[in-house]
Amino acid sequence: MTDTTDRTGPGTTLADLPLREDLRDEHPYGAPQLDVPVVLNVNENPYPVAPGIVADIAAAVAHAAAGLNRYPDREFLDLRADLAAFLRVESGAELAPEQVWAANGSNEVMLHVLQAFGGPGRRALSFAPTYSMYPEYARDTQTTWVVGQRTDAFTVDVEHARAMVREHRPSVVLLASPNNPTGTALPLATVEAVLDECSRLSQGAVVVVDEAYGEFRRSGTPSALELLPRHGNLAVSRTMSKAFSLAGARVGYLAASTAFVDALRIVRLPYHLSAVTQATARAALRHSEELLSTVGELRTRRDETVRWLRDVGFEVADSDANFVLFGRFADRHAVWQGLLERGVLIRETGPAGWLRVSIGTADEMQQFRTALQEVVSQ
């Protein structure tokens, strides 16, 4: 454990405090935040918000600031309506504002899901390798974490998924699609098979398809939003952190049945979404087309990066996201370190031997390629 001695207080250490037993050996989660020239480690959009949109967001925040003596709109139905309108344009989904939920990043949305549907004596199921935050939501809500395995191609085998649902009887199933850190999108048939198996469980289960990278999916890859009209226990989560270039604003959301959303409303803290956040998100959504205008270019560069990595001899996972998982390295840490020494920060994550690189600007990807060739030719 890191040194947690309180140097400003009476010398208390974490061991002196009644921390929950199951948190004793845990560490705060997060990728290194290092000040280097080329940051390609947390799947952000490399393009900052354009000046005109910044001005509109600033004006909206100024307007909200004039009312900050009051608590914000607890139900934020205006923002939920704006998000529903966006999903209608993006995926053709017909959703009422009451079918949309939002929170401080989809991380908090997922925590709401686990608070409402997980808990002691219950199980959450996913398929590894997948998003490393999922087991943390489970831990924090004292939900038992159960994990199946993805195939060698990082997809989810339908029979394995069905068997895991039957055996473990989860109350929550989390399916990332496109998956992080592999970039793999799931066919809707897989999601439907999981929904079908869950419908056979006597206590029922909810299924969350995490589409944090949905906007980057290749053409022909469907969104699970299509399945919502037929499944009241399904939710599709999205975020403004990735394609929208708005990671700093902390806005994530999901679409589901009204009943599903009503369950989340029970566990959310009152006023969890600040007036500043609501104003920021609504102003950004007025410019969604311009904000998402970099997505096409990033997808093209993603496909080019996959091709280049394969051409120079790496193994590369197919990607529907704005990052690429590649390998394999006998000592991936040495490669990660070598890139860092050349000013390029990527992510040491996923199965042993693999590394993940986010798609940056053309110049950043050139620096990544040059650095990688130097490192591996040593």
Ligand X SMILES: *Cc1c(COP(=O)(O)O)cnc(C)c1O
Of the candidate residues 180, 190, 294, 305, the single one contacting ligand X (CB under 6 A): 180
Q: Rounded to whole angstroms, what are the CA distances from 335 to 30, 46, 349?
A: 20, 23, 13
Site for ligand X, residues 107 to 136, rule: CB under 6 A? 107, 131
**342 closest CA partner among 350, 354, 332, 334:** 334
* Residue showing tokens 């490393």: 132
252 sits near ligand X (criterion: CB under 6 A): yes
- Under the binding rule (CB under 6 A), the answer on residue 44 touching ligand X is no
Q: Report the chain's C-alpha Rg in angstroms.
A: 21
Q: In angstroms, what is the minimal distance from the CB of 14 to ligand X?
A: 26
Residues sharing a CB contact under 8 Å with residue 202, sequence separation 6 or more, in sequence order: none
Does 233 bind ligand X (CB under 6 A)? Our answer is: no
Dihedral of the alpha carbons of 36, 42, 46, 49, in degrees to the nearest 10? -110
Distance CA(259)–CA(268), nearest Å, equals 15
CB of 131 to ligand X, least distance (A): 4
| Closest distance of CB 323 from ligand X, Å | 9
Nearer to ligand X, 90 or 169 (CB): 90
Which of 105, 183, 327, 350 is the binder for ligand X (CB under 6 A)?
Answer: 105
Among 171, 239, 277, 322, binds ligand X (CB under 6 A): 239
Closest CA to 130 of 104, 102, 169, 156: 156
Candidate segments 45-53, 63-71, 99-107, 348-356, binder of ligand X by CB under 6 A: 99-107
Which CB, 171 or 182, lies closer to ligand X? 182
Cβ atoms of 306 and 324 within 8 Å: the answer is yes
In terms of CB distance, is 83 or 371 closer to ligand X? 83
Pick the stretch among 82-90, 101-109, 115-123, 220-228 that binds ligand X (CB under 6 A): 101-109
Residue nearest to ligand X (CB): 105
Contact 207, 158 (CB under 8 A): no
Residue 93, helix vs strand vs coil: coil
Nearest distance from C-beta of residue 238 to ligand X, angstroms? 8
CA atoms of 257 and 100, how far apart (whole Å): 8
What minimum distance in Å lies between the beta carbon of 281 and ligand X? 12
In 101-205, which ranges are continuous DSSP H helix? 105-117, 134-140, 158-168, 188-199
The secondary structure of 247-272 as a DSSP string is: GGG--EEEEE-HHHHHHHHHHSPTT-
Number of chain residues interacting with ligand X (CB under 6 A): 14
Measured from the CB of residue 249, what is the shortest distance to ligand X in angstroms? Answer: 9
Among 241, 245, 280, 294, binds ligand X (CB under 6 A): 241
Of 43 and 367, nearer to ligand X (C-beta) is 43
Q: Considering only 163-171, 224-232, 234-242, 268-276, which stretch makes contact with ligand X by CB under 6 A?
A: 234-242
**Which one of 40, 146, 164, 176 is in contact with ligand X (CB under 6 A)?**
176
- Distances from the Cα of 289 to the Cα of 223, 240, 356, angstroms: 18, 13, 28
Measure the CA–CA gap between 173 and 206, rounded to whole angstroms: 6
Closest contact distance (angstroms) between CB of 123 and ligand X is 20
Q: Which helix (H) or strand (E) holds 367?
A: helix 362-377
Residue 306 CB, shortest distance to ligand X, in Å, is 18
Chain residues binding ligand X by CB under 6 A are 43, 105-107, 131, 176, 180, 210, 212, 239, 241-242, 247, 252
